[in-house]
Structure 1
C-alpha cells in the first residue's frame, strides 16, 4: 500500500518538459509512480491536487544559513517558499572546518553573513559540524569554503603563501570532501582569497584537478571587471579540468548594464561548447546584500578585522581610501557603482547607531553632518566592521538575460545576520521568480522556471535523487496554486513569509500541509 497518493494535479517535473496531468505516488520516502493511476489504487492517504501544480521540492544551492541552521524555528521561512534542499558554505565563507589558531578572527569575519555561531556549532571538521547540527524539516548540504581554509592556514594577512600553507589547505580540503562537502566555494571578492594571484589560486585548488568536484565562485570583480573575472575563472577551470559554477552573476554599475552580461554569457557558451562543465546562477533582485566592508579595496582588508578597524581609524589611510574610491581601479568600487544613496545599512549592533538602520549612507551622512566616506569609516570603526548592507547596483534587463540562458539557474544568496533587516530575498526569492518573471513579465515559462529551481541546481552540484519528479527519486515535493504563490516582503519590511505554498513534503513526510507546519523534521544532511 502506498504511503501517499497525490491525485489530479498538473505535474511539472523539473526537467523543463511540458507539464502534464498525472497522479503522484509516494512510498518509503521515494516517488513510486508519476502517471494516471486506477481509482482503486490503495493508499494510506490521498491528497486532492486538482487545480494545483505538483513539482519537485525547490533547491537553493547558495544560502548562508551555516549558523542559522542551529536557531529555533529554522526551516519555516524556507518551507513557505517551497525549499526542501539548501546548500550553505558559499562564497568561501563556510562555518567549518577551522581550528583554534584563527578561530575568533574567522568567526568575526563570518558573523555579518552567517550570524553569530552558537556554542554548540563544531568548527574543527565538517564531520563535527554535521554531527552538531540539530534535526531540521529540510535537507542541507555544505560547500567547503576555500577562504576559510586559507584563513585557517595563514590568517588574514596579505602575504604570499609558502608550501606549508598550501599543504595545510590541501589536507583540510581533502578531509572536508571526505566528510561529505558537496563542492568547494571561492570568495575572491573577500579577504583572504582576494590576495591570491591566478597562479596561486590554481595551486590552492590543486587537489581537485581532473575530478568531478564542483567549484562555485564569487568572482574577483562583478562590475566593470566582470568579463575579465570570468576569463580568469575559465583559465582556472581549463587548467585544472574542473566543473565551474559562477555564483550570483551580475554586472554592477549603470555603465556596465546591457554591455557586460552578453559578453559573459557568450564566453560561458563558448566554454561549454569546447567541453568545459560550466554554469552560472542569479538572484532575481536588482539589489545585493553583503558586508559593508566589501566597499573597501583588497589591500584595506589585510590582517583581519582588528587590522581593518585600525586602518580605518588612521586619517592618512582614510585619505588614501578616498583616492582609491575616486579612481575605482582594480576592485569593485561599490561606493561609486551603487552611489552612497544606493547603499542601505541593514545590521548595526551599537545602540547609538540603531537610528541609522534601513537608511542610506547618504541619509546618515546628512543626519550626522559628515561627508559619506567619513560617516562610513566612523561606523565601521565603531561597529568593529560588523555591518551588513543592501546595495542597489544591477539591471533587471541583465537579470532577465541571465535567467533566459540555458546555463543558468536560480539562487537566493540569502544571508542570516543575527540582528537587523535582512534582504527580502531571504524570504521571497523563489515565489518572486514565478510571480514576477513568469506571471507578470512572461520572461520564462512555468516549466523553464521550475527547472531552474529544481533539476538544474541538482545537476550542477550532483545532488543525487533531487530535483526531478520521477519514479525512484526522493519524495521532496511541492503542491501549490500557481496564481496564489507570492512574495510578501519588501526592502522596508523584509521579514515576511511567502504566501500561497500549500503542501511541502521532504523525504515523503509532510512538513507543511495546507499551509500549516506539521513539526516533522525529516531533513537529512546531504553528503557528496
Structure 2
C-alpha cells in the first residue's frame, strides 16, 4: 500500500518538458509511481485542475539562523519551498571564533538576524550538525562563507592576507567542504570581503576543485562597476578551474540600466570558452541589504564599533560626506547612482525609531532637518550599526531580461524578517514568479518557470535526487492552482502569505494541507557528496 497518492493533477515534472495529466504515488519518502495509479494508499488527495510540481528550491537566501529559531519554516512552506541554500554572500554564522565573536555577530546581524541564545558551534561542520538537530520542516544546504573565514583568521583588517593566514583560511574552508558544504560563497561588496584581492581569492579557491565545490559570488559592484565586477569573478574562476555562480545579477542605478545584457554576454563568452557559469535573480526591482553597504569601504575597517567611532570623529565624518557626494573609481557609490530617496529603512532595533521604518533616508533627513549623510550616520549610531534597508535601484526590463535568460535560476535572497518591514520577496518570491512572469507578463512558460525553481537549482547546487517528478526521486512536492496563485506581500505590508498553493510534501510527509501547516518536520541537512581525490 502506498503512503500517499496525488490524483488527477497536471504534472509539471521539473525537466522543462510539457505538462501532462496523471497521478503521483509516494512510499517511504520517495516517488514510486507516476501516471495512472490504481494502487491503494493510506491517503488519496484529488488535485484536479491543479499543478503537481517538484518542491521549489530557494537557492539563495539568508535563513541561516531563522531555520533554527523557526524550524517550521512557515514563511517558505506557504510558498511551496522545500529546500533552502544558506551561507550566501560571504555571510554565515560559522566558522565562529570565540575571541572574535562580536565581530562576526555584528557583521551578520543586519542580514541573518540575531539569537537570544549563545551559539554553541565553532566550525562549519558543527553548525551543520546543529541545524540538523533542529529538525526543520524543509531541507537545508550551506556554503562556507568567505566573510566568516576572513573574520575568523584576520578580523576586519584592510590588507592582504599573509601566507599563513591564507593557509589557515584554506584549512577552515576544507573542513567545511569535508563536512558537506556545497562550495564557497563570497561577498565582495561587503567588508571584509571587499578588502580581498582577486589573486588572494584564486589561491583560496584552489581548495574547491578537489571537492568539486561551487564558487558563488556577490560581485564587488552592481552599479557603475557592474561589468568589471562580473569580469573579475570570471577571471578568478577561470584561473582556479572551478564552476562559478553569480548571485542576484542586476544593474543598479538608472545610468546603468540595460547593462545586464552586456553582463550576460560576458557570461556567454565565458561559457563559450568552456567555463561553467550560471546566475540567479529575484523577481523584484528592489533589493535589500544593510545600510552600512552605502559607506566607503575604508569606513568598515575594524568592524562595526570602529565604523561607529569614525562617525564620532568630525574629520572622518567630513571625509565620508565628501566621498559620498561624487562617483568613485574603485567602489560603487550607490548613493550617487540611485539617490537617498531610493534607500528605504526596512528594520531598526530601537523602539524610538520604529516610526522610520518604511521611510526613505531623504524623507527622514528632511524630518530631522539634516543633510542625508549626517542623518544616515546618526541613525547608524543610534541603532548600533544595525539597520536593514530596501533599495529601489533596478529596472523592470532588466529583471525580465535576467529572468528570461536560459542560464538563470530564480531565488529569493530573503533576509531575516524578525523585525521591521522586510522586503516582500521574503513572503512572495515563488508565487510571484507564476503570477507575474508566467500568467501576466508571459516572460516564461509554466514549464520553464518550474524548471528554474526545481531541477535547475538542484543540478547547480548538487542537491541529490530531488527536483523532478520521476520514480526514485525524493518526494518533495508542491501543488498549486495556476489560476489563483498570487503573491500578496507588498513593500508597504510585506508580512502576508500568498494564495493558491494548497499542498506541500517534504520527504513524503504532507507538510502543508489546504494551505495549513501540519506541523510535520521531515526536512534534513543536505550534505554535498563531493568527489574528493584524497
TM bin (shorter chain): over 0.9
Q: Which residue of 1 aligns with 2:334?
A: 334
- Given the alignment of the two structures, is residue 122 of structure 1 paired with residue 120 of structure 2, yes or no? yes
Task: Verify the 8 A CA contact 2:72 2:519 in the aligned structure 1.
Answer: no
In the TM superposition, 1:35-434 aligns within 5 A as 35-37=35-37, 40-72=38-70, 74-119=72-117, 121-133=119-131, 134-209=134-209, 212-258=212-258, 260-329=259-328, 330-434=330-434
Superposition deviation, residue 120 in structure 1: 5.1
Contact 1:210–1:242 at 8 Å: present in 2 too?
no
Query: Distance in 1 between the 2:519 and 2:32 partners?
Result: 25
Number of aligned residues: 525
Name the SS of the counterpart of 1:44 in structure 2: strand
1:35-61 CA-to-partner distances (Å, cap 9, x unmatched) read 223xx3222221111100000000001
Q: Deviations over 1:261-308 (max 9, x none)?
A: 111111111211221111000001111000000001211111101111
CA contact (8 A) 1:313 1:377 kept: no
Secondary structure at the aligned position of 1:326 is classed as coil
In structure 1, runs of 5+ residues without a counterpart are: none
| Structure 1 residues 484-525: Cα deviation after superposition (integer angstroms, max 9, x where no partner) | 111111101111112221000001100001111111110101
d(CA) in 2 for partners of 1:375, 1:307: 18
Distance 1:428 1:417, change over 3 A: closer
In structure 2, C-alpha distance between the alignment counterparts of 1:443 and 1:127, rounded to whole Å: 40
TM-score normalised per structure 1: 0.97
Deviations, residues 441-493 of structure 1 (Å, cap 9, x unaligned): 01110001111111111111111112111111110001111111111111011
Counterparts of 1:292 and 1:131 in 2: how far apart (Å)? 32
User: For residues 489 and 91 of structure 2, what CA distance do their matches in structure 1 show?
Assistant: 26
Alignment CA distance shift 1:331-1:396 (3 Å):
same
What TM-score comes out, normalization by structure 2 length? 0.96
2:71–2:137 contact (8 Å) kept in structure 1:
no
- Residue 473 of structure 1: aligned partner: 473
Instruction: Tell me how far 1:128 sits from its aligned partner.
Output: 1.8
SS in 2 for 1:428: helix
Moved more, 282-291 or 133-142: 133-142
Equivalents in 2 of 1:211, 1:464: separation in Å? 15
Distance in 1 of aligned mates of 2:116 and 2:125: 17
* Partner Cα separation in structure 1 for residue 448 and residue 502 of structure 2: 21
Q: Please say if residues 136 and 521 of structure 1, whose CA atoms lie closer than 8 Å, have aligned partners that are also in contact.
A: yes
Moved more, 451-460 or 69-78: 69-78
Deviation at 1:352, TM superposition (A): 2.6
Q: Is the 8 A contact 1:12 1:55 kept in 2?
A: yes
Residue by residue over 1:51-84, the C-alpha shift from the partner in whole angstroms, topping out at 9 and shown as x without a partner, is: 0000000000111111111224641010100000
Relative to structure 1, is the Cα distance of residues 118 and 132 closer, same or farther in structure 2, using a 3 angstrom cutoff? farther
For each residue in 1:398-421, what CA deviation from the matched residue of structure 2 results, as whole angstroms up to 9, or x when unmatched?
A: 111111111101011000054211
How far apart are the structure 2 equivalents of 1:279 and 1:131? 29
Match of 2:503 in 1: 503
Distance 2:371 2:43 in 1: 64
For residue 532 of structure 2, what is the aligned residue in structure 1?
Answer: none
Where do 5+ consecutive residues of structure 2 fail to align? 529-534
Q: Is the 8 A contact 1:292 1:389 kept in 2?
A: yes
Task: Give 4+ residue runs of structure 1 displaced > 6 Å after superposition.
Answer: none
Report the 3-state secondary structure (helix = DSSP H, G, I; strand = E; otherwise coil) of the residue aligned with 2:99: coil
